[in-house]
Amino acid sequence: MSSLIGIDWGTTTFRAYLYDQSSTYVDRISSAAGIMQELHPDFENILYDQIGSWLTRYPSIPIIASGMITSRQGWVETPYLACPASLENLGKILTAFRLHDGRDIHFVAGVSQQHPTANIMRGEETQMAGLASRKPTLAVLPGTHSKWIWMADECISRFTTFITGELFTALTERTILGRLITDQKDPTSFRLGVEEGYYSSSRTGGILSQLFGARAKPILGLMQPDAVYDYISGLLLGTEVKEAVELGVEAQIRPLVCGSSALVTRYQKALQICGFKVSVAEQDSASTGLYRIAVEAGLLAR
């Protein structure tokens, strides 16, 4: 018997899960109907377009949603839970919104941090709820804005967001560096980039000058033009790991990496090149997390 619909609604993707009596979903819908797909989206209509058949078939089961759908650009802006943010408390402050058919959709809160630096997340808190059973000390969630999240006693204690993914896209699509780029897999230049980013020093300079090196090297015949894409990718990831280490990530920490497989592979390799042992999590942490938060919230009949 189905018990819950969970929705992971992000900037570029829409994912819905139908659960039985456990956190393992029995059906799943995934599409490109992210919140940025349309200029002025009618989110309720999109919801019915995407999962109308479930809504009709199960008229009374609860719905829970998280991700960028809860942001200012989304459907219903939910509050932020301040760090340290317990996963239990995430279940206590859902924001309910009544649909036209009279049923509620329950939106998860984001998590914010003011110290040591201002930071926000929407969606990743749900992933952390899904990963909690693995009791990670540090989770790394790669993406457009990759997040490194410290956990203690089922609390998000602090986190850092790196703009790496978005910067990579902007650099390769919108700058002079992109002219040299082909998307060819080159593990050697990826490794070189990670090493130069991670072990950057007074000899090699920092990321702002290293990025120009990615232009100068092929022009001087020191690097194949084909290698630039992976070199820049490595350079940015090596720099991200270096910055994380400067923020207190120590060598004996074993980060738990969770995300889409291509990105996880890149992050896993980069972390290993920098001397870390890495654990990799299943991709569906958001679906597990949605179920977990619904349970904490008492949305499910016990």
Q: Which chain residues interact with its own copies by CB under 8 A?
A: 72, 80, 112, 114, 116-120, 145, 160-164, 166-167, 169-171, 173-177, 201-213, 215-217, 219-220, 222, 236, 239-240, 242-243, 246-248
What minimum distance in Å lies between the beta carbon of 236 and its own copies? 7
How far apart CA 150 and CA 137 sit, in angstroms, is: 6
Mention every residue, 6+ apart, whose C-beta is less than 8 A from residue 109: 70, 78, 79, 80, 81, 90, 93, 94, 95, 125
What minimum distance in Å lies between the beta carbon of 301 and its own copies? 37
DSSP element (H, E) containing 50 = helix 43-57
How far apart CA 285 and CA 80 sit, in angstroms, is: 20
- With respect to its own copies, which residue has the nearer C-beta, 26 or 247? 247
- With respect to its own copies, which residue has the nearer C-beta, 119 or 265? 119
What minimum distance in Å lies between the beta carbon of 84 and its own copies? 17
- With respect to its own copies, which residue has the nearer C-beta, 67 or 91? 67
Query: Angle, to 10 degrees, between the axis of helix 207-219 and the axis of helix 187-198?
Result: 140
Whether the link from the prior residue into 84 is cis, omega within 30° of 0, is: yes
Cα diameter, the chain: 68
What minimum distance in Å lies between the beta carbon of 212 and its own copies? 4
- With respect to its own copies, which residue has the nearer C-beta, 23 or 200? 200
**CB 270 within 8 Å of CB 237:** yes
What minimum distance in Å lies between the beta carbon of 231 and its own copies? 12
Helix (H, G, I), strand (E, B) or coil at 265: helix
- With respect to its own copies, which residue has the nearer C-beta, 96 or 120? 120
